[in-house]
Amino acid sequence: MGIEKNGAAICSVCKAVASNSNLKIRSKRQSWMISCTECDHVFDENQNVSAEYNSNTQQKSVMEKYTVAKLHLKLDDDGSIKNGSQYGEVFGKRLGSFKDYIEGFSSGAFVSQERKPRMLDIGLGASGSLRYFADLGFDVYGIDTDPVALEFQKELCPEAHLKEGFFPDVHFEEKVDVVVAFHVLEHIPDPPKFMKVIRRICAEPAMLLFEVPNLINTRNAEQDFRTWNMWGASGVHLQHYSPRSMAISLALGGWSILNYHQPLDLEREVMTGAAISGHQDSTKRSAWSLVMQQ
């Protein structure tokens, strides 16, 4: 892969026009990955990945994860999973301190006592998220394009509400309180627009938990731009977020960044974070503040 410094494109996050000085590198699809100097975002100049291409690539990944996940699960005599909660806790460990905020929903601080809190995982794959949140008392919902992933989730969390397809074409009528989007946002052509769509299916207040490939300092470190090993995934990764470009995407979609799971650096290939919305109401804002102080 080589770098050129000519041509122009529009940043998919901040909409700035790339200049001749922007760093560029060829992706697997032979389109240009461009580093935005305004928001430290790297985006694919060609934002039109076909659903078929994306789905076929993801299906192979899900199949591999499904196989690995099954190796870590113990089955009862009837073939049912008997250590699903332990598998869910593996997902819970990825949330770190965000568990304190999640308790604000499971404890009823932000949700009407007349219903359970609701959680939706978009593109759940072989994740243990549904099992984890169900064990916390949430009604859990999941959407994925791959039937293999949904079959796995039915075994892991029989009480889950599941649908096959692409979000938001496929969605649930119920408003949700927590949305999980792990390794989804890098596949989205228009991040701020997608954040707005997620916001519309949420109750108030709401939390968005996300995990994406991590990208830092590419604007100032050309060597990192050349050698960063996640470029191998750019065949279907349209976006590579920095903390700054992620915060801008969230803000334009009506979300406020809450925190990142741990300090970010170039050695860490992903960043996990949380954002909140709909907490302007004074009563809800006070309740949110109390949870944050715990």
pLDDT > 70: percent of the chain: 64
ω into 168 cis (within 30 of 0): yes
Query: Residue 20 falls within a domain, yes or no?
Result: no
Facing residues of 182 across strands?
211
Give the CA dihedral 183, 189, 192, 197, nearest 10 degrees. Answer: -80
- Of 29 and 45, the one with more pLDDT: 45
Query: Residue 191 falls within a domain, yes or no?
Result: yes
Dist. CA 86–CA 73, nearest whole Å: 9
Spell out a b/e string for 116-142, using b for 16 or more CB atoms within 10 Å of the CB, else e: bbbbbbbbbbbbbbbbbbbbbebbbbb
Convert the pLDDT of each residue in 173-229 to its tens digit: 999 999 999 989 988 889 999 999 999 999 988 999 998 876 654 444 344 555 555
Please determine, for residue 74, whether its predicted confidence score (pLDDT) is greater than 90.
Answer: no
Query: Residue 273 falls within a domain, yes or no?
Result: yes
Query: Residue 35 falls within a domain, yes or no?
Result: no
The CATH code of the domain that includes 113 is 3.40.50.150
As separate numbers, helices (DSSP H) first and strands (DSSP E) second, the chain gives 9, 11
Query: Residue 40 falls within a domain, yes or no?
Result: no
Whole-prediction pTM: 0.80
Q: Which two tokens stand for residue 81?
A: 């999973």
Give me the number of domains the chain comprises: 1
> Which domain covers residue 110, as residue numbers?
50-213+241-293
Q: Which two tokens stand for residue 268?
A: 């860490």
Q: Which amino acid is at 161?
A: H
CA distances from 230 to 191, 212, 237, 250, 269 (A): 19, 11, 9, 23, 7
- Of 118 and 53, the one with more pLDDT: 118
Query: Residue 74 falls within a domain, yes or no?
Result: yes
Query: Residue 22 falls within a domain, yes or no?
Result: no
Query: Residue 185 falls within a domain, yes or no?
Result: yes
